[in-house]
Structure formats: structure tokens, C-alpha cells
Amino acid sequence: MHIFYTNGASQTGASRATVLIVDDDKGNLSVLGSLLQPYYNVLAAPSGERALKIANGNPKPDLILLDVLMPGMNGYDVLACLRDHPGTHDIPVIFVTGLDSIEDEEKGLELGAVDYIAKPYRPRIVLARVHAQLELKHARDWLANQNTWLEAEVARRMRDILLTQDITINALAGLAETRDPDTGNHIRRTKEYVHILAKRLQAHPDFAEFLTDEIVELLAKSAPLHDIGKVGIPDHILLKPGKLTNEEWHIMQTHCLLGAQAIEHALREADCSIDFLDLAKQIAHFHHEKWDGSGYPDGLKIQAIPIPARLMALADVFDALISRRIYKEPIPIERARDIIIDGRGSHFDPSIVDAFLATFGDFVVIAQKYQDNEDAHE
């Protein structure tokens, strides 16, 4: 076997392309090698088996000139192997052969060769076709590299967007925490509760179309903003340890609209639809609506209540029941479960209550994992 290998720059000034020539006739290898060496790095193989080893080695050829009629593996067999291997699949192959009928040329092209050169060699034609195929490969490689770069850039920008979402949510939720000392772990727990319920309901026929994997994750992101409107409630009402008067209760109820309006303002400023804020607005506005229409602020009922708000309604009430507040003591988690069951079909969507019962063990785990500090030491 002869291997020709030269170094240096091509006529264009770029690094030289590598061409592998494959022929069982040493004379043909010598002729092609001498013709191509002034312009390219040249590798040579006297058999199909050797050609495959070189093609999978380093340096990998940019183009292969492949004889068809060889003992052992013929050119068609070699081409089939090249196309079957991921490492050599995209290397362009030009058949170089004494078979010069139209049928032979058509067969070679149908099998995946990019061109067909008949013997005897005509130097200018050989050089022109080799040059053309290497230019095409260079263009394909450049496009592939550009696509890889673009995909990486899109992924980076998506990470930036998701990070911005998280920062926005945490900042807004943190603002709510500064007004209401009870909200810290409540936010963490209700976020997890909503995620648990949404995942469970993905298989439910009434929820499957809406609760895609993307929406489920966005719901969990949006849930911490459910009480953002409480930043607009006066301290003497928000932090009152005793029962609220009717007038105070009416003011407290406005936190739903205040939250929804704040998020709506942010959406208008953005002048575009932002999915997690759209969901957050629904949650903030409607999470105190009840299945039977007796909730607030709009008295919506049954299917008119958006799914995100229905999920949040159960998560919010359950957590409020088991948590200490300035106006109440926590109740046992089993008692809270029974209250949720009692609200099935009146306060809560029956299907969501069923999902809650099916995942109650997960709720208990979350409640214990993120329990409030004063309760953790009791």
C-alpha cells in the first residue's frame, strides 16, 4: 500500500483538504496521486477493506475517489459501509472506474456517489470535479457549523429567558413576603402542591389537552404570585390578629384584583404575551372562586373558573388550614384533608379533589419538608 501525504497551503490559502484514492491498481494510484498532490493532502488505499480503516482514522478524508471493480470488497460494497457508519456517512464519494455505460453511472449515483469519473483519466476534468465536490463539502460543513452555533445560541438565550422569569417571580414573591410574614414557606408549599396536582391530572381527559408538560412547569413557576395583590392591602387589615369586620373583609378581597391588575400592567408594558405571566394573572385573579359560584371576586362557577385558579384554590386552602396564622392555630393534616373532601363539588373541582386524595402522601411530604420554623420545633 502506498500513502501519499503532503503539507502546505492550497491555492486559496486555506488548510489543505484531504483526498483518499482507492484502487487495486498501483499504477492508477500513482497517476491520481501525482495529479492531486500539488493541491491536496492525498491518502491511498489498494483495497476496500483498507479504505474503510483509513476513512475511519485521522485525518479523516474530505473526499474519496473510489474504484468500482476491485477484488474482495468492490466499490459498491465500500460505499454501502461508508454510508452505514456515522463517522463516514457524510464523506462525499466519487466513483472512478472503467465502467462507462449510462447504466453504470446511474447505478453509482443511485447508491449515493456524488459524481462519476470514467477512465482513462482526463486531468482537467478530474481536478475540476474534485474541486467542485470539495467546495460543496466546505459549504455543507460551514452550514452545519452555523446551525450548531445557532442551536447553542438559541439554547443560551432560552436559559437567559428562563432565568429572567425565575428572577422576576422571586422578586415579586419576595415583595409579598415583606408585607406578610406568613407567606414564605406557604409560597414554597403551594408551588409544590400545584405541581403535584397538575402532573396527576395530565392523564385526566378533562385536563390533558391543557396540561402539557410545558404548562405544568409554567404553572409551578406562576403559583408563587397568587397573593401578590396583598402588597396593596393596608397593614392594619393584612396583619390584624383578630376577625376582620365586614368592611375590612371587603378590602381584603380586593387583593385578587390588585394582583391581576399588577400583572396585566406588566403584560401591557411588555406589549406581548408572556405565558407564565398570563397564567399568574389567572391564578391571582380567580384563586378564591368556588366551584359552586359562591367565591370572589367575580362569582365564577364550574368550568368558567380557569384551570390554573382551580388548582391554586385547593393548594391555597389546604396549606392555610395546616399553617399557623396570626389569627389562627394550624389544624392536623388529616383534618385538613377531610375539610377538602367536604368541599368537593362545592368549593373545589371534584376532579381536582380526587387528584388531591390520590397524591395525599406527596402533600404530606411537602408539608413536612417546608414546614414553618415555629412549627418545626414543636
- 18-148: CATH topology is Rossmann fold (3.40.50)
Q: How far is CA 14 from CA 10, 59, 64, 135, 309, in A?
A: 6, 16, 20, 12, 62
**Residue 91: per-residue pLDDT:** 94
Q: How confident is the model at residue 376 (pLDDT cuts 50, 70, 90)?
A: very low
Q: Domain ranges for the chain, please list them.
A: 18-148, 180-376
Q: How far apart are CA 118 and CA 105, in angstroms?
A: 9
CB 222 within 8 A of CB 247: no
Higher pLDDT, 271 or 330: 330
Q: How far apart are CA 352 and CA 52, in angstroms?
A: 61
DSSP state of 121: P
Q: Which three cell numbers stand for residue 361?
A: 402522601
Residue 225 has pLDDT above 90, yes or no: no
**Per-residue pLDDT tens digits for 113-153:** 889 888 888 899 999 999 999 999 999 888 888 888 888 88
Q: How far is CA 375 from CA 121, 328, 335, 371, 372, in A?
A: 89, 13, 17, 7, 5
Q: Specify the 3-state DSSP secondary structure of 330.
A: coil
Q: Specify the 3-state DSSP secondary structure of 374.
A: helix
Q: Which three cell numbers stand for residue 16?
A: 489543505
Higher pLDDT, 220 or 168: 220
Residue 307 has pLDDT above 90, yes or no: yes
**Per-residue pLDDT tens digits for 177-221:** 666 655 568 888 999 999 999 999 999 999 999 999 999 999 988
Residue 326 has pLDDT above 90, yes or no: no
**Residue 373: per-residue pLDDT:** 63
Q: Which phi and psi angles does 191 have, rounded to 5°?
A: -60, -45
| Top CATH class, 180-376 | mainly alpha
Residue 6 has pLDDT above 50, yes or no: no
**Per-residue pLDDT tens digits for 73-102:** 999 999 999 999 999 998 999 998 877 667
Q: Which three cell numbers stand for residue 91?
A: 464523506
**Domains 18-148 and 180-376 belong to one CATH topology:** no
**Percentage of the chain lying above the pLDDT 90 cut:** 53
Q: How far apart are CA 112 and CA 133, in angstroms?
A: 14
Q: Which three cell numbers stand for residue 96?
A: 472512478
**CA angle 44–49–51, rounded 5-degree value:** 30
**Per-residue pLDDT tens digits for 31-75:** 999 999 999 999 999 999 999 999 999 999 999 999 988 998 999
- Which of 224, 221, 233 lies closest to 257 in space, CA to CA? 233
Strand partners, 63: 19
What is the rounded average pLDDT for all residues in the chain?
A: 86
Q: How far is CA 96 from CA 65, 132, 158, 300, in A?
A: 6, 16, 48, 77
**Per-residue pLDDT tens digits for 231-256:** 888 888 888 888 889 999 999 999 99
CB 227 within 8 A of CB 176: yes
Q: How far apart are CA 60 and CA 91, in angstroms?
A: 9
Query: Alpha-carbon Rg of the chain, whole angstroms?
Result: 35
Q: How far is CA 6 from CA 19, 34, 120, in A?
A: 11, 11, 25
- How many Cα atoms occupy the beta-carbon half-sphere of 158 within 13 Å? 6
